[in-house]
Each structure stands twice: as C-alpha cells, then as structure tokens.
Amino acid sequence: MNMLSAVASFIKDGGGFMYVILGVGVLITAIVVERFIVIGTAAAVNSRRMADDLVRSIQRGDLSNARNVAMHSNAPAARVAQAILSTGHSDLSKLQAAGDDAATMALPPLARRLPHLNMLANAATLLGLLGTIFGLTTAFSAVGAADPSQRSAFLAAGISQALNTTALGLIIAVPTLLLHGWLAGLVEGITEQVDDMNIRLSQAIAGAAQRANVTPIQSRPVATAPVQAAQTVVRRAAAGGQ
C-alpha cells in the first residue's frame, strides 16, 4: 500500500507531463508484447535442425517427406523451404530465386513496428526534458511572484515536477531501447537461418538432380564401338585375301 501511495504521489507531483509519458509507456508496452509474440513464435522453431532433416530427405530422394516436414511449420525458414520444394526445378539459380522471393514475403512482417520502439523511447526522453523545463520555469516564476512565506513550497513543487518528469522519461526510455535491441537481434538471427535454409536446400536439390542425371563411368561404352569397327575391317580384309 505504501508503494502504491509513493507511486501515486510521484506521478501527481510530476504534473501533466507525467500522464503523457505514461501514455507513451502504455503504447510501448503494447508494441513490445505484440512483437514478442510474433518474433518469439518464429524464433522458437529450430530452423537449422529442420534444414538438416530436409537435406537428409533430399539426399535419400524422399521429396514427399521433405514437403511434409516443411508444411508442419509456418516459420519464415519453413515457408522458404516450401517455396523451394514446390518449384519443380533442379536449376540452382531458379531454386534460390524462389527462396529469395519467399524470404522477401516472410521476413518484413517480423521487423514491423520495431522502429517505432526507438522513436517512442526518444519521445519519452524528450517529454521528460520538456517537463523538466516547464517545472523549472514554474518554480522560478513562482519564487519571484509568490509571498515570501510560500516561496519554498512553490520552489519545491517546481523542482519535484522537473525531476519527476525526467526520471519517468528515462525509466521508460532505457528499457525500451534494450528491448528494441533484443528484438532486433532475434529478427537478425531468423534472417540468418532463412539464408542458411535457402542455400543448403537449393544446393541439396540441385546436387541430387545432378547425381541422378549422371551415368556411371563403367556403363559407358567409350572405346568399344571404334574397336569393333576396326575388327570388322580386319575380318573383311582377311576374308578377301583368302
């Protein structure tokens, strides 16, 4: 109860700017929670393990199992895998182009509204400084115009408003910047996993198709035709001589 009273007194002494800064804090909280759900869901998928499973399935020639593995998730890396597996091509450039197109569609929604966090953190800091200026202006104006017996009270109220708004602005801005960096790092990690999936899966499919189209060297009749032709000429010449 004492904690709640202290917080209420802290906000009340800070003046009207405190409520504006609190509104910015509520908006920041809503964005962080929404982004945490979206980005956290995508980051929870072990894309590297999925890529290993898909590559092994491709090397075994089991495309149906690879498609089933990719369809079990809606993560960006899984969507890139689905696009590559559904192309029907074995050309490396076409496979990677399909993966790039899918990544272009899957990755931008992860970074959506993240720049707003940086902007709102700066706004909270500047609002705190603006409240500080207004508080100091009010304090000095009151000191000059108030009755001498009330000058100390007006000065204390103005200084409280100035310090409280600055403190609240920083209390909101510093965690916001830390959360912004953390979420941006998660998005960067997901982007790296998507690139890894695109490269590895495309190379696996192209390599499997290339191996399937190559005839073993032992089965190539390279020198048998010329030798047989020479033997026929020799036999004919021998027969004519007889």
Per-residue pLDDT of the chain (242 residues; tens, 9 = 90+): 578 877 888 788 777 888 999 999 999 999 999 999 999 988 888 888 888 888 888 888 888 888 888 888 888 999 999 999 888 777 888 888 999 999 999 999 999 999 999 999 999 999 999 988 888 887 777 666 656 666 677 777 778 888 889 999 999 999 999 999 999 999 999 999 999 999 999 988 888 887 777 544 333 444 444 435 444 533 453 444 44
pLDDT given for residue 87 in this prediction: 85
Name the residue type at position 177.
Answer: L
Euclidean distance between CA atoms 167 and 174, whole angstroms: 11
pLDDT given for residue 216 in this prediction: 41
Euclidean distance between CA atoms 228 and 217, whole angstroms: 20
Contact 228, 83 (CB under 8 A): no
pLDDT given for residue 70 in this prediction: 86
Measured in degrees and rounded to the nearest 5, phi and psi for residue 62 equal: -95, 80
Give the rounded distance of the alpha carbon of 38 from its chain centre.
10
Angle between helices 47-60 and 76-85 (to 10 degrees): 20
Contact 170, 125 (CB under 8 A): yes
Euclidean distance between CA atoms 95 and 205, whole angstroms: 8
Which residue from 29, 32, 7, 11 is spatially nearest to 20, judged by alpha carbons?
11
Euclidean distance between CA atoms 159 and 135, whole angstroms: 6
Task: Tally the C-alpha atoms within 13 A of residue 37's C-alpha that lie toward its C-beta.
Answer: 5
Contact 13, 119 (CB under 8 A): no
Contact 96, 196 (CB under 8 A): no
Q: Which residues contact residue 146 at a Cβ distance below 8 angstroms, ignoring those fewer than 6 apart?
A: 154
pLDDT given for residue 149 in this prediction: 62
Q: What is the DSSP letter of 74?
A: -
